[in-house]
Amino acid sequence: MRYRLVVLALAAVAAWVLPYGLSLYAIHVVDVAIVFAILAIGMGLVMGIAGQINLAQVAFFGVGAYMTAVLTTHVGMGFWTAAVLSVIGTAVVGLLVGTPALRMQSHYLGIVTLGLAVAFVSWATNSPLAGGASGISGIPAPTLFGLDLSSEYLFYYFELIVFACALAFGMFIVRMPLGRRMRAMRDDALAAGAVGAEVRSLRMAAFALASVYGGLAGVLYAGLIRYVAPETFSIANMFLLLAMVIIGGRHSLVGCVVGALGLSLLREALVDVSTYAQLAYGAVVALTVVFAPNGLAGLPGRVRSAWGRRRPDKAAVLGDFQPYEPASPDVVGGPDRDDWILDVRGVGKRFRGLIALQDVSFQVRAGEIRGIVGPNGSGKTTLFNVISGLYKPSSGQVIFAGKPATGRPPHQLAHAGMARTFQNLRLFHLMSVRENVLVGLDRSRIRSIWRYLLWPIGVFRDDREMHRAGDELLARFGLVDFAPAAPRSLPYGTQRRVEIARAMAGRPRLLLLDEPAAGLNGEEVRQLGEIVRSIRASGVTVIIIEHNMGLVMSMCERITVLASGSVIAEGTPAEVSRTPEVIEAYLGDAEVNDNFSAEDELPPATVLDATP
């Protein structure tokens, strides 16, 4: 921490004395580089942090610059009024350009935003309002508190302050709950929704942020150059900006800034051989994505891990699970109580021709541990996806805690008290174990986003509170030693436990576990049973899909058996294991195997009940 403060102070002093050693031309180059750095922060936020492939960032830059130009020259506004309106206007454009992100992602979003960027350049080149190909000149020089900012040296200091604020605000967002939810959404949008992140709103927030940074850069550019023309906002410059962010390291805002400053200055140094420079940075981009996907910002981490491998510190151990405080009996409920927490009524789900679920009905009492078993492909996970809001059922409805859950998005259900794990582990793999749990703890909503701008102290306090609760949770699940680790570096069984901890972080009333014992060894399965029983004892209802019959039979009060998308049996473990349909579903069709009668030759209990 102290080391960082020293570096920061040195950087500030260096930035402050820099102009004294620079010629008029050099300070101009630096001024332009800072504009690109601000633009790159916005790009890093939307692409590196929120995972939205936005190739219209240079158009946001253009909208900001052109709006300032039009408002000052055509409308005759003062520079600062125009500047504020331009940033607001760019944010509106950003939200519009971001709407496709609600429906598509990845390369689809890339091509749509790139197309819109092309459309913007085309508009600017043709519109009389924008001055056509020759652009708009004669933007008045801004003055601030009587200082004439037409001096590029003074403008440098003004820019420096804006840049420092922009970077600090960006880094604040990245480290606080909002940025954490955005990173979670980037790593796995489905899982982020399931732990309560409002994925759609977060995507829009990311575009809004990116466009505000773009607009800010545009305003500064207009004030600095006092002339705008279409070629500044061309696709070639969009790709240059992309190169800055990729080479610098898209997951780190400081990396983005380093990339932007470095490439801007290099471009200026190589201006005589610009085509070869273009060749070189294109090649570096192609090689970066393959060999150093985290860019320059990822290098220190690589060096450190190469260093660390040589002198291994003490091995991290998975601690014991500390059981929850059992809740009082009237909260816990149990199999003999009559209030349903989950009521599935005649749910059907079809994917085009395929019927995955057909008229599935069952009810789960509060405080129960319910097992759902069935052969592979019988629709168990589809059922979970319907209950947790990932799929909309084709027919029927789901009632959760007395309220209809059908058609509500996953994050709303998460806020209402539902949590789940996934069959194929969906941890946020670029975030640490601690951050994974913190995302689960995070109950803040997008509507309180204003606090980031107006009441950052409150955000900071909330975050500290979350960290405290997170550490408590990590200790309970015995994960303290793994808190800073990347999930993928952990043993499989530990990853499973992290996922359960993340689900429990939201203090759910209903926990859905999808094959939590898959891939666990005997001891880990025993620990899992202990964890699930303790979770139930604390008053949480648990529904568990599992193939490990020993675990299911020993732990669940009631079992629902699915086969080919329908419920074929329900009851206590003993009842279910005697049902002929269940035996048939597990052993095959009775008519085919008519040589032996299942009931005579193989007592069902020994088939299904593997408990010792």
Please identify, among the stretches 60-68, 273-281, 475-483, 598-606, the one whose residues bind other proteins according to the rule CB under 8 A: 273-281
Q: Among residues 44, 51, 89, 487, which is the contact residue for other proteins, using CB under 8 A?
A: 51
Residue 164 CB partners (closer than 8 Å, separation 6+): 12
Residue 452 neighbours by CB distance under 10 Å: 19
490 touches other proteins (CB under 8 A)? no
Question: 62 or 367, CB closer to other proteins?
Answer: 62
Question: 6 or 133, CB closer to other proteins?
Answer: 133
Angle, vertex CA 136, rays to CA 134 and CA 141, nearest 5: 140
242 touches other proteins (CB under 8 A)? yes
Question: 51 or 604, CB closer to other proteins?
Answer: 51
542 touches other proteins (CB under 8 A)? no
262 touches other proteins (CB under 8 A)? no
Question: 124 or 531, CB closer to other proteins?
Answer: 124
512 pairs with which residues across the strands? 420, 543
Helices 152-175, 24-43: axis angle to 10 degrees equals: 20
Q: How far is the C-alpha of 378 from the C-alpha of 563, rounded, in Å?
A: 5
392 touches other proteins (CB under 8 A)? no
Residue 64 neighbours by CB distance under 10 Å: 31
Residue 381 corresponds to which tokens in the numbers above?
């996970």
Single-letter amino acid code for the residue at 296:
L
239 touches other proteins (CB under 8 A)? yes
- State the virtual CA torsion across 201, 206, 211, 213 in degrees, nearest 10: 140
Q: Shortest distance, CB of residue 99 to other proteins, whole angstroms?
A: 7
259 touches other proteins (CB under 8 A)? no
Tell me which residue of 610, 611, 608 sits closest to 583, measured CA to CA: 608
Q: Contacts with other proteins in 53-72 (CB under 8 A)?
A: 53
Please identify, among the stretches 31-39, 187-195, 411-419, 460-468, the one whose residues bind other proteins according to the rule CB under 8 A: 187-195
Q: Percentage helix, strand, coil, to 5, in the chain?
A: 60, 10, 30
Q: Shortest distance, CB of residue 429 to other proteins, whole angstroms?
A: 12
Tell me which residue of 41, 262, 297, 46 sits closest to 167, measured CA to CA: 41
Please identify, among the stretches 5-13, 98-106, 161-169, 435-443, the one whose residues bind other proteins according to the rule CB under 8 A: 98-106
List Cα–Cα distances, 281 to 204, 259, 288, in angstroms.
Answer: 31, 11, 10
104 touches other proteins (CB under 8 A)? yes
* Contact string 116-155 vs other proteins (x = CB under 8 A): x-xx--xx-xx-----------------------------
201 touches other proteins (CB under 8 A)? no
Max CA distance (Å), the chain: 100
Residue 507 corresponds to which tokens in the numbers above?
């203090």
Q: Shortest distance, CB of residue 351 to other proteins, whole angstroms?
A: 12
* Contact string 353-382 vs other proteins (x = CB under 8 A): ------------------------------
Please check whether residue 396 is in contact with residue 344, taking contact to mean a CB–CB distance below 8 angstroms: yes
Question: 95 or 118, CB closer to other proteins?
Answer: 118
Residue 311 CB partners (closer than 8 Å, separation 6+): none
115 touches other proteins (CB under 8 A)? yes
Q: How far is the C-alpha of 452 from the C-alpha of 458, rounded, in Å?
A: 8
Find where tokens 């803040």 sit: 444
Question: 198 or 609, CB closer to other proteins?
Answer: 198
414 touches other proteins (CB under 8 A)? no
270 touches other proteins (CB under 8 A)? no
Question: 50 or 82, CB closer to other proteins?
Answer: 50
290 touches other proteins (CB under 8 A)? yes
Pairing of strands 541-545, 369-373: parallel
Say which DSSP state 344 is in.
E
Q: Shortest distance, CB of residue 97 to other proteins, whole angstroms?
A: 9
Residues that bind other proteins (CB under 8 A): 51, 53, 99-100, 103-108, 110-112, 114-116, 118-119, 122-123, 125-126, 188-190, 235, 239, 242-243, 246, 275-276, 278-279, 281-290, 293
